[in-house]
Amino acid sequence: MPIVSRARDAEHARHLYQIGVTDAVPETIEASLLLSEAALIGLGVAMGLVVASIHEKREEFRRELQQAAGRPASAGVGKSPLTNDAGGPSSRPMRATAPCSSPAGYRRRRRRRRPRPAPPPAGGCNRPDPA
């Protein structure tokens, strides 16, 4: 049975891996990844590319933490439920906002921009002068 645990930081995650947790999610790293994802999407980077790269970075951090804890990252017993057999991101979503981990799974939709309303006349209002 996989055991997924929240860790305060990378050091705590390494400790959890040493005592046998299947997957440890460091709050500080996860918060940084989510912030990066929101910033990149806000800057207009294609969502599929952002989600795929964030998933890749998340897995890279997980492998580094497991290796630092003296545990091989490719071991079948301690394999993360968040990855597939090839070591890549699983096709299952990690959050409701990430329907897939493949850039091909997304098509960026462009919003139709509404035309801006005409500026007010030079007098500042549309009412006739009361004079």
pLDDT digits (tens, 9 = 90+) for 61-117: 999 999 988 877 654 444 444 555 444 445 444 444 444 444 444 444 455 667 777
Phi, psi of 89 (to 5 degrees): -65, 145
Would you state the pLDDT for residue 131?
A: 60
Nearest in space to 62 (alpha carbons), one of 41, 37, 90, 35: 90
Average pLDDT value for residue range 4-17: 93
The pLDDT, as a whole number, for residue 105 is 42
Enter the pTM of the model: 0.53
The confidence score (pLDDT) of residue 119 equals 72
Per-residue model confidence as pLDDT tens digits over 25-46:
999 999 999 999 999 999 999 9
List C-alpha distances in Å: 88 to 29, 50, 59, 77, 83.
19, 16, 8, 17, 6
For the chain, the average pLDDT equals: 75
Residue by residue, DSSP assigns the chain as: ---EEEESSHHHHHHHHHTT-SEEEEHHHHHHHHHHHHHHHHTT--HHHHHHHHHHHHHHHHHHHHHHTT--TT-STT--TTB-TTSSB-SS-SSTT-S-S-GGG--PPPPPPPPPPPPPPTTSSSSPP--
Least Cα distance to 54 among 26, 24, 32, 80 occurs for 32
- pLDDT number for residue 57: 95
pLDDT at residue 15 greater than cutoff 60: yes
Which pLDDT does position 126 carry in this prediction?
60
